[in-house]
Amino acid sequence: MTARIPMKTPIAEIDGDEMTRVLWALVKEKLILPYVDLKTEYYDLSLTNREATKDAVTAESAGAILRLGVGVKCATITANAARKKEYNLEALYPSPNATIRSILDGTVFRKPIGVSCISPSVSTWKKPIIIARHAYGDIYKSAEMLIPGPGTVELVYTAADGSEKRTPVADMKGPGVVLGMHNLDESIKSFARSCFLYATAEKLPIWFSAKDTISKTYDGRFKELFNRVYETEFKDKCAAAGITYFYTLIDDAVARVVKGEGGFLWACKNYDGDVMSDMVAGASGSLAMMTSVLVSPSGAAEYEAAHGTVQRHYYRWQKGEKTSTNPVALIFAWTGALAKRAELDNTPELTTFAKRLEQAALAAIEAGDMTADLAALAHPVPEAALDSWQYIDAVAKRLRGA
């Protein structure tokens, strides 16, 4: 066997839960360790270890991503009441992804992975649509209240000097609900910067959409700050990259997206990005064919699969079944992280390996070797769907032969 590819700097390796944890180990063993002298700083974010460390391990892993510049993360359980019972937990800690996002203050970029045997359900799409989701604030960090009966609701801001600003929200005629949310100028500007950095690097036109006609102050602020970052920091860089920046209303953007051919970066506010990334993933084929990278304003990047821990498959695996769980997005999380490491360390051999592994994973599918989620959509229809172990072996074989 030839010598393994050396690495200069480690990456933060963040392990997770359930079926994705099972596949994580398998992908490493069969597809990476035979070729790369892997250097990682390992963080175990399994629910059990998060509980044992009182969730300190989550913040430590985020710190490692910032320090090392590159991280790769497995899917993790976000604990809820059912999980508390299942895992006999003492506390319910926040979603690890939310914790890591707030430490990295980043933007999440989601990109579908295309294969020639699966056509998107939107027939005009020729090129991928990349969603950039602002990962701070709005309804994800809001306060809500049930209103029991008639009365008035106001927004009150108390400044550091004690002075107040008030504005009425509603004169409630009866019981109902109320919601208060916020965002920060700094976070909106770093969101815009991350988007322009990604778009200029990838040479993709950039769209930003919001609803400033209705939300004149809140969404209006997003539009104004996004535009200011463009005008003052990126106008020349966009021109040099040959790309355009375009603001439009969210409803107009949706109408254009389903008629267009794709091939652009769509910057979305937090909720819009949550919904639109699932729409793009669904219409592109499978949730298991979507990569996700969280980029901080400092340039540190965390790569992961867009899907969760595939809980239902895990329970079947525990009973001894070899499930047909698709590991492609996990493989691409690793190749994304290795390629980023190679770019920062200037190690072209590692770049080439990451590209080869991606090509092997896609070529296997295009030759008919695929898991059940893809077999249900592919043309021509493969003779049989493979289980995850068979698929990974098919990729390993191509990697050896390539």
Q: CB under 5 to 8 A by kind: which of Mg ion, ligand NAP, none does 40 bind?
A: none
Q: How many residues bind Mg ion (CB under 5 A)?
A: 2
Residue from 248, 181, 169 nearest 209 by CA: 248
Question: How open is the CA angle 105-193-211, to the nearest 5 degrees?
Answer: 90
Surface-to-core class of residue 64, CB atoms within 10 Å of its CB (0-12 exposed, 13-18 middle, 19+ buried): buried
- Interface region with ligand NAP, contact rule CB under 6 A, candidates 61-69, 126-134, 208-216, 305-313: 305-313
Measured from the CB atom, the residue of 1 and 82 that comes closer to ligand NAP is 82
- Which residue type, as a one-letter code, is found at position 331? I
Whether the Cβ atoms of residue 351 and residue 336 lie closer than 8 Å to each other: no
Amino acid at 97: N
CA–CA distance, 232 with 346 (Å, rounded to integer): 31
Using CB under 5 A as the binding rule, whether residue 41 contacts Mg ion is answered as: no
60 binds Mg ion (CB under 5 A): no
E-strand ranges in 194-314 read 206-210, 245-249, 264-268, 290-295, 301-305
Partner interacting with residue 126 (select from Mg ion, ligand NAP, none; CB below 5-8 Å by kind): none
- Among 274, 343, 345, 393, contact with Mg ion (rule: CB under 5 A): 274
Nearer to Mg ion, 44 or 274 (CB): 274
CA atoms within 13 A on the CB side of 305: 27
Cis peptide, bond prior to residue 380, ω within 30 of zero: yes
Stretch that binds ligand NAP, among 2-10, 71-79, 100-108, 272-280 (CB under 6 A): 71-79
Residue 118's nearest CA partner among 362, 384, 318 is: 362
Taking CB under 6 A as the rule, does residue 65 contact ligand NAP? no
53 binds, among ligand NAP, Mg ion, none (CB under 5 to 8 A by kind): none
Instruction: Figure out which of the listed residues 46, 97, 183, 187 binds ligand NAP, where binding follows CB under 6 A.
Output: 97
Q: Which of 233, 274 has the CB closer to Mg ion?
A: 274
- Choose between 8 and 312: whose C-beta lies nearer to ligand NAP: 312
Nearest to ligand NAP of 35, 332 (CB atom): 332
What are the residues binding ligand NAP (CB under 6 A)?
75-78, 97, 287-288, 304, 307-312, 325-326, 373
What are the residues binding Mg ion (CB under 5 A)?
274, 278
